[in-house]
Amino acid sequence: DQQVKQNSPSLSVQEGRISILNCDYTNSMFDYFLWYKKYPAEGPTFLISISSIKDKNEDGRFTVFLNKSAKHLSLHIVPSQPGDSAVYFCAASVNNNDMRFGAGTRLTVKP
């Protein structure tokens, strides 16, 4: 059962522009949402998170938006940099337990 879905396997953007990565979920009980970044041959690295009581969380160039009614999550990176090129995973959990991951979106930022 795919409770967290990332429907775009890949995304390519120009350096300096905005990258928008999307994620949809089906379980309305999820109350904590996270984005992880993964480089080749490394484990996922935590990037940013948001609680279900919020609709936006910002950390530098990274902003996560949560639309609970649409069960949709997005990550905005602005401005995008070549070093942001990686696979991005969306994840969600209930009471910080049983975390479910999407299949990932490969972001390529072109110089």
Partner 1 sequence: DTGVSQNPRHKITKRGQNVTFRCDPISEHNRLYWYRQTLGQGPEFLTYFQNEAQLEKSRLLSDRFSAERPKGSFSTLEIQRTEQGDSAMYLCASDSAGGKNQPQHFGDGTRLSIL
Runs of H (alpha helix) within 40-93: none
Instruction: Find the binder of partner 1 among 1, 83, 96, 111 (CB under 8 A).
Output: 96
Distance CA 46, CA 53 (A): 20
Q: Strands 105-110 and 72-77: what pairing?
A: unpaired
Site string for partner 1, 25-64 (x = CB under 8 A): -------x-x-x----xxxxxx--x-x-------------
Rounded distance, CA 83 to CA 94, Å?
32
Separation of alpha carbons 6 and 88, rounded Å: 10
According to DSSP, the residues that pair with 65 across neighbouring strands are: 56, 74
Site string for partner 1, 7-26 (x = CB under 8 A): --x-----------------
Among 71, 86, 104, 109, binds partner 1 (CB under 8 A): 104
Residue 42 or 69: which CB sits closer to partner 1?
42
Residues forming contacts to partner 1 in the complex (CB under 8 A) are 4, 6, 9, 32, 34, 36, 41-46, 49, 51, 89, 91, 96-104
